[in-house]
Chain A
Amino acid sequence: MKLILADKTVIEGKSFGADVSATGEVVFNTGMVGYVETLTDPSYQGQILVLTYPLVGNYGVPDPEFFESTGIHISGLVVSEYSETYSSASAKQSLASWLKKSGIPAISGVDTRALTKKLREKGVMLGGLAVKGNTIALEDPNKRNLVAEVSIKEKRVYGSGPTKIIAVDCGMKENIVRSLTRPGITVLRVPWDYDFTKEEYDGLFLSNGPGDPTMCGATIQNIKNAFKKDIPILGICLGTQLLALAAGASTYKLKYGHRSQNQPCTDVTVGTRCYITSQNHGFAINRKTLPKEWKVWFENANDGSIEGIKHTSKPWSAVQFHPEASPGPTDTAWVFDEFLASVALYKKNHA
Chain B
Amino acid sequence: MPKKPKKVLILGSGGLRIGQAGEFDYSGSQAIKALKEEGIRTVLMNPNIATVQTDKGLADSVYFLPLTEYFAKEVIEKERPDAILLGFGGQTALNLGLALDASGVLKKYDVEVLGTPVSVIRDTEDRELFIKRLSEIGVVTAKSFAAENIKDAVASASKLKYPVMIRMGFALGGEGSGLVRSESELRTRLGEAFHRSPQVLIEEYLAGWKEVEYEVVRDAYDNCIVVCNMENFDPMGVHTGESMVVAPSQTLTNEEYHRLREVAIKTIRHLGVVGECNIQYALHPVTGEYRVIEVNARLSRSSALASKATGYPLAFIAAKLALGHSLLTLKNAVTQKTIACFEPALDYLVLKMPRWDLNKFDSAVTSIGTEMKSVGEVMAIGRSFEEVLQKAIRMLMIGADGFTANKGEAFHIEKYLAEIKDPTTRRVFAVAEALHRGVSVEEIHKLSGITTWFLDKMKNIIELEKRLKKETLTAELLRQVKQAGFSDKQIGTITDKTEVAVRALREKKNVTPAVKQIDTLAGEFPAKTNYLYVTYHGTEHDVIPGKKGIAVLGSGPYSIGSSVEFDWSSVQVLKTLQAEGRETVMINYNPETVSTDYDMSDRLYFEELSLERVLDIVQFEKIKGVVISTGGQVSNNLALPLHKNGVKILGTTPENIDRAEDRHTFSKLLDKLNIDQPGWAELTTRKAAGEAAMKLGYPVLVRPSYVLSGSAMAIASDEKSLMRFLERAVDVSSEHPIVISKFIENAREIEIDGVASKGKLEIYAITEHVENAGTHSGDATVVLPPQRTYLETIRRAKRIAKKVVKELKITGPFNIQFLAKENKLQVIETNVRASRSFPFVSKVTGYNFIELATKAMLGKDISGHYQTLELDYVAVKSPQFSYSRIKGADPLGYVEMASTGEVAAFGSSYPEALLKSMMSAGFRLPKKNILISLGGEENKVKLLPAIEKLKVLGFNFFATEHTAEFLKTHGIASELVHKIKSGKKENVGTLLDSGKLELIINLANRGLVREGNGGNNPSDGFIIRRKAVDLNIPLITNRQLAEAFAMALSEVGKKGLESKAWDAYKKDA
Contact = CB atoms under 8 A, between A and B. Distances in A.
Interface of A: 28, 30-34, 36-37, 52-55, 58-59, 62, 66, 80-81, 83-90, 111-114, 116-117, 120, 260-264, 266, 272-274, 276, 301-302, 325-331
Contacts of B328: 266, 272, 274, 301
30 contacts: A32-B346, A33-B253, A33-B257, A33-B258, A52-B522, A52-B524, A54-B349, A55-B250, A59-B252, A80-B537, A81-B537, A85-B452, A87-B453, A88-B253, A89-B286, A90-B253, A111-B514, A114-B539, A116-B522, A116-B523, A264-B338, A266-B328, A301-B328, A301-B338, A301-B342, A326-B254, A327-B258, A329-B261, A330-B262, A331-B262
Interface in B322-373: 326-328, 337-339, 341-349
Contact of A33 (B254, B349, B456): B254
B642 interface: no
Given A85-B456, A89-B285, A276-B342, A36 B347 contact: no
Interface stretch (B221-229, B297-305, B969-977): B221-229
Contacts of A273: 221-223
Given A273-B222, A302-B342, A37 B254 contact: yes
Given A62-B253, A116-B522, A301-B328, A54 B347 contact: yes
B539 A111 contact: yes
Closest 4 pairs between A and B when the two form their complex, measured CB to CB: A34-B254, A85-B456, A30-B522, A116-B523
Interface string B241-285: 000000011111111011001100100000000000000000001
Nearest to A274: B341
Contact of A302 (B223, B338, B343): B338
A289 to B, nearest CB: 25
Contacts of A111: 514, 537-540
B222 to A, nearest CB: 7
B431 interface: no
Contacts of B254: 33-34, 36-37, 326-328
A117 B516 CA distance: 12
B345 A261 contact: yes
Nearest to B456: A85
Nearest to B454: A87
Interface in B435-466: 451-453, 456-457
Interface string B515-527: 0100001111110
Nearest to B348: A54
> Which of B226, B339, B522 has the most chain A CB atoms closer than 10 A to its own CB?
B522
A303 to B, nearest CB: 8
A272 B330 CA distance: 12
B291 interface: no
Contact of A54 (B225, B451, B526, B537): B537
A329 B255 CA distance: 10
Interface of B: 221-223, 225-226, 248-255, 257-258, 261-262, 265, 285-288, 326-328, 337-339, 341-349, 383-385, 451-453, 456-457, 514, 516, 521-526, 537-540, 542
A52 B345 contact: yes
A274 B223 contact: yes
A30 B523 contact: yes
B177 to A, nearest CB: 28
B221 A272 contact: yes
Contacts of A116: 347, 522-524
B334 to A, nearest CB: 13
Contacts of A37: 254
A191 B538 CA distance: 44
B288 A89 contact: yes
A330 B347 CA distance: 22
A22 B412 CA distance: 50
Given A114-B538, A272-B328, A301-B328, A87 B342 contact: no
Contacts of B522: 30, 52-53, 113, 116, 260
B452 A87 contact: yes
Nearest to B451: A87
Contacts of B341: 264, 274, 276, 301
A330 B260 CA distance: 11
Contacts of B451: 87
B136 to A, nearest CB: 20
Contacts of B248: 32-33, 53
Given A83-B453, A331-B265, A59 B348 contact: no
A58 B222 CA distance: 34
A327 B256 CA distance: 11
B523 A87 contact: no
A264 B520 CA distance: 14
A37 B349 CA distance: 21
A112 B347 contact: yes
Nearest to A35: B254
A331 B453 CA distance: 30
Given A87-B453, A274-B327, A262 B342 contact: yes
A235 B76 CA distance: 57
A266 B514 CA distance: 37
A36 B250 CA distance: 15
Contact of B453 (A31, A86, A274): A86
A302 B347 CA distance: 19
Contacts of B385: 55
Contacts of A327: 254, 258
B453 A85 contact: yes
B337 A113 contact: no
Contacts of A276: 225-226, 341-343
A251 B587 CA distance: 48
A273 B261 CA distance: 18
Contacts of A31: 345
A328 B226 CA distance: 12
